[in-house]
Structure 1
Amino acid sequence: MPPQGTSTTPFWLLASFLGLLLLLQLPHQTPAQCIDNHEPGCQHPAEIGMAQRHCIDPTKFWQCYALGNPAKLKYCRPNMAFDQDRNACVPWIAWVWQPCLEPVSRPPGWEVCQWTK
């Protein structure tokens, strides 16, 4: 207990206020992440039946079944990854990283990632 006549309340108020200011500034200082899984829009006939690699997790891929419907997220079997060139899941030992291909169309409302400083 502090000596009589002293109070720690102003210190804690000031420390809390400064901490809040710091937290409010953090989002402006860190760059935003651009996370694009390359989900197709299923808006073009060429996308129907064509698998599209999920660009964040190579064990997944997108599949369009009908025009205008959302793409379905599909999974490779365990220990396999989706190979865009072969249009199939292959064993990890045979999988090689490649840049993702841009889908023919994008889902309605999709926006390009905006990088910030």
Structure 2
Amino acid sequence: MKSVAALFAIFLAVFLVAGVNADAGRSACKDESEIGQTYTHHFDAAKYWLCETLGTPAKEVDCPAGLAYMHLLKECIPWASYIWKKPEMPPTVA
């Protein structure tokens, strides 16, 4: 049990030192090509980012209960069908 706690502490330290942005994957929506587009939320598969207005960072959107966002399909799908893919960054980042 001590090794699990130590491993968690190391992970947490690396996570904090790396300065991970809580909005990782959030588009800044600074390019017209981003408007109306959705992007993967890097920390919660049940959410995604939606660009609505040029120059305004994307808003966080929740999938309906029991669904996860699949960027390749650009829609929320049942968790049983969800396949994790390495998230990509949008053209502009908030």
TM over 0.5, shorter chain: yes
> Alpha-carbon deviation of 1:35?
2.8
Offset from partner CA, 1:53-99 (integer Å, 9 cap, x none): 10100000000111101211100001100000000000001100000
Structure 1 unaligned regions, length at least 5: 1-29, 108-117
What's the TM-score once normalised by structure 1's chain length? 0.62
> What is residue 7 of structure 2 aligned with on the other side?
none
Counterpart in the other structure of 1:87 = 74
1:47 to 34, 40, 44: 34
Q: Give the counterpart letter for 2:93 in structure 1.
A: R
Percent identical residues: 27
Unaligned runs of 5+ residues in structure 2 are 1-12
Which aligned segments of 4 or more residues in structure 1 are displaced greater than 4 angstroms?
A: none
What is the alpha-carbon root mean square deviation over aligned residues? 1.3
TM-score normalised by length of structure 2: 0.76
Structure 1 residues 96 and 34: CA distance shift in structure 2, 3 A: farther
Equivalent position amino acid for 2:35 in 1:
I
